[in-house]
Each structure stands twice: as structure tokens, then as C-alpha cells.
Amino acid sequence: MKKTLFFIIALAGILVFNSCEKRELEPVLDMEKTINPVISSPGNNAEYILLEAQEDALWANITWDPAEYNVEAGRNWNLINPDKLGAVTYTVQLDTEADNFSSPLGLTATTETSYSMTIAELNGKLINMGLATGEAHNLVLRIIADVTDGSTYDNAVSETIKMKVTPYAAEIVYPPIYLLGDATAPGWDNANALPLHAFNETQFAIVANLAGEGKFLKFIQTLGAWAPQWGTDGTGTGESGPLVFRPTEDEPDPAGIPAPAAAGDYRIFADIEALTYTITKASETLYLLGDGTPAGWDNTAALPMTKLAPGLFEITVNLAGGSTYFKFIETLGQWSPQYGTDDSGTGDAGNLVFRPTENEPDPPAIPVPAIAGSYKITVDLAKMKYTAVMAN
């Protein structure tokens, strides 16, 4: 009996000793020794003016150094990789400086140490926060590190980054009308007619390649349907004329609009309220020049742009920055046809102003962006707009 009692007491002692030893060796996280995440970009006090013309461009790549944790194993302190604790979740928060994270917007929750978003994505989030467009807002950004799901440890919080951001009012997208006819690429296939850009509910434009004399075109409102439809009457020409509206298929077809005599790219403009149309020759080649470009103002050395589609051109080029400018010309060695801008044009985007002949006054030159660098410049002759976006 005594031997049995001694054995039980000894066994209990061993279990207690092992349990104490195990508890002593279990890792214990000391949050007082934690190094918080550190935001490396964007920089503090940066200012951003968001532009719809650059909506697909990267706004910022938010990056940060990871949090570092100290863990006690027995009596030894070791700085260890957070992965040994399990995945650390980082939450990126944005708020107004006035609210100071009282009701922050969570941009993402990730186990990575970076997060990217486009200008359009950020703009939408700011509008959803109730921020007015066209006005600069003081915002704050921070990163919160959570070491384990459901843990009782406090989160590790980065310093606060301040920034000033101006969101834009998104352009209203109006329903298009469509171009078709044997003068156009889709022919009379009303299921594949070409969409016109809608400036508003009644005015539309497209640059399209037309086949030439003896061919015709029309406009329809709905793909796959022949009404509503717009044609012309006996006075319509390959340059301009009245539109004749066919509201339903119970009404007779109006005459087709004649194509210009020469085949090529044309800008076609339709006003379905005024019931008029115009067809004007569109540039099929474009060149970039200006003191903000490598070509300077030498119109014989202007840089060729790539034609992506009728009326749509693009080039990626280094721009000088500062108080320099650029324009577009159609023909090397000639100053017309030429495209500049108006008083509202900026280094980011603006309206195109056309100079058809040298008898017309020069339009203002387009200012380059403030920061020198590589830019993708796009020209859209249907919309008569240009954009300059810093290349990634």
C-alpha cells in the first residue's frame, strides 16, 4: 500500500513538473516589444487631384514594412518572423482628418504588405464617403496589424499619413445610337452596328471608315431593331443634311445618307433633336511635336502616333515638364491640319481645337504635365479630347 501511494505521489510530481516546464517554454507574445507597421508610400502630406480622364491609371501603390513581434520562449527573448505566429492581417483604413478614424473606411484586409487601387476606385470610395467633388479634402491613412484571428492581443497600428485629395464628378454616360450601312464595316447588319459616343441625350459622334461614293449609311437606336431609325431626304449629301426620323416599323424607311465620294476615315456627327448631321474628313495620321517633346517645334521631325482605330491615336513619350507645350499635326512639314486646345486644357486632359487650314488662327498649345517623365498621350477625334497619363 505504501509503495502504491509513493508511486502515485511520484507520478503526480512528474506531471506537475512537466506541465510547469511546458508552460514555461510556451511562446508568450509581449506587445510592448512589438514594432508597428511603417507606411513607406504614399508619402506624408501628398496632394492628389483625381481626373476622370485618368480613371484607369494607378492612383497609388500603398506599401508598408511589416509589423515585428517579440515572443518569449522559456527565459529567452527572440525577435521572430510574424509568420511563426500565424498570418498577420493588415487592414488599410482611410478617413477624413476631422473624423480621425472615428468611422473609417476599410480599403482592404490583406496578409500582403502592399495594396494598389486605380483612380476610379479611389474616386468612387470618396464619393461613397459623402465627399463633395471638385473640392480638396484632408484625409488620413493608417495600417492596422492583427496578429491572430480572435486573439486578445492589442492590434499594432502604424503612424497616420495625411494627404489632400480632390475627387471628380464622373461623366454621365448616355445611351448611344448606332451607325450602319453598306458604307460602313458592319454593312446593313443591325445586330453589329457601330456605337456613337453620346455627348448628351441628343448629340452623338463617331469616327468611322466609309467606303466612298455610291454607298449609304443610317442610324438606329437599338441593336437588332430597324426602328427607331434616322436617315435623310433628297437634300442630304455626303457632307451634311437633315435627318428624317422613323419612330416605328409601321412608318416608311427614310432614304439612306450618302457617303462622301472618297473612301476614308470620317467624323460623323448627329443631332437627333435638331435633326441634322455632318460628315467631315478625319485625320488618318497624327504626329506629336512641341518644346515639351523630343521633336521640339520642328514640324518635319514630329513624332508619329500609333493609330489604334479610326480617330483614335496613342503615343508613349518622354515629356519635359515645366512651362513647355505640345500639339498635334496631320502631315509632316505642314502646320495644318493641326490640333491644339482651349483655355480649359491642362497637362492631364482637355478639349481638342481643330485648325483645318493655315487661314485659321492657331489654337492654344497644350501644356505638358507638371512632372517630367514618360507619358501615354491619347487623342480621340470622335470625342475631340486628349489625355496624358504617366506611363507605368
**What CATH number should be reported for the domain holding residue 49?**
2.60.40.10
Q: Which domain holds residue 183?
A: 178-281
Instruction: Say whether both 204 and 103 belong to one domain.
Output: no
Residue 363, pLDDT above cutoff 80: yes
Instruction: Say whether both 240 and 125 belong to one domain.
Output: no
Minimum mean pLDDT among 90-99, 144-153, 276-285, 366-375: which range?
144-153
Q: Does residue 86 belong to any structural domain of this protein?
A: yes
Instruction: Report the amino acid identity of residue 157.
Output: V
Q: Does residue 17 belong to any structural domain of this protein?
A: no
Q: Rounded distance, CA 116 to CA 94, Å?
A: 14
- Reported residue count of the chain is 392
Q: Which of 133, 166, 199 is the last residue of a domain?
A: 166
Q: Does residue 173 belong to any structural domain of this protein?
A: no
Instruction: Say whether both 189 and 273 belong to one domain.
Output: yes
Q: Which of 261, 281, 301 is the last residue of a domain?
A: 281
Q: Does residue 15 belong to any structural domain of this protein?
A: no
Instruction: Say whether both 49 and 153 belong to one domain.
Output: yes
Instruction: Say whether both 65 and 149 belong to one domain.
Output: yes
CA dihedral 368, 369, 372, 373 (to 10 degrees): -100
What is the tally of structural domains in the chain?
A: 3
pLDDT tens for each residue of 335-357: 999 999 999 899 989 999 999 99
pLDDT tens for each residue of 109-122: 999 999 999 999 99
Instruction: Say whether both 270 and 358 belong to one domain.
Output: no
Q: Does residue 3 belong to any structural domain of this protein?
A: no
Average pLDDT over residues 282-302: 97
Which cell goes with 48?
492628389
Instruction: Say whether both 261 and 306 belong to one domain.
Output: no
- Global confidence as pTM: 0.69
Instruction: Say whether both 382 and 306 belong to one domain.
Output: yes
DSSP 66-94: PPBEEEEETTEEEEE-GGGG-PPEEEEEE
Instruction: Say whether both 184 and 243 belong to one domain.
Output: yes
- Tell me whether residue 13 is exposed, middle or buried, using C-beta atoms within 10 angstroms of its C-beta: 0 to 12, 13 to 18, 19 or more: exposed
Q: Rounded distance, CA 174 to CA 167, Å?
A: 21
Closest to 302 (Cα-Cα) out of 313, 310, 294: 294
Instruction: Say whether both 156 and 259 belong to one domain.
Output: no
Instruction: Say whether both 151 and 203 belong to one domain.
Output: no
**What CATH number should be reported for the domain holding residue 300?**
2.60.40.3620
Instruction: Say whether both 191 and 294 belong to one domain.
Output: no
Minimum mean pLDDT among 22-36, 125-139, 302-316, 378-392: which range?
22-36
Q: Which of 281, 305, 328 is the last residue of a domain?
A: 281
Q: Does residue 269 belong to any structural domain of this protein?
A: yes
Q: Does residue 13 belong to any structural domain of this protein?
A: no
Residue 52, pLDDT above cutoff 90: no
Extended beta strands in 174-311, E state: 178-180, 194-195, 197-198, 203-210, 216-220, 229-231, 240-242, 244-246, 257-258, 264-271, 276-281, 287-289, 303-304, 306-309
Instruction: Report the amino acid identity of residue 255.
Output: A
Q: Does residue 1 belong to any structural domain of this protein?
A: no
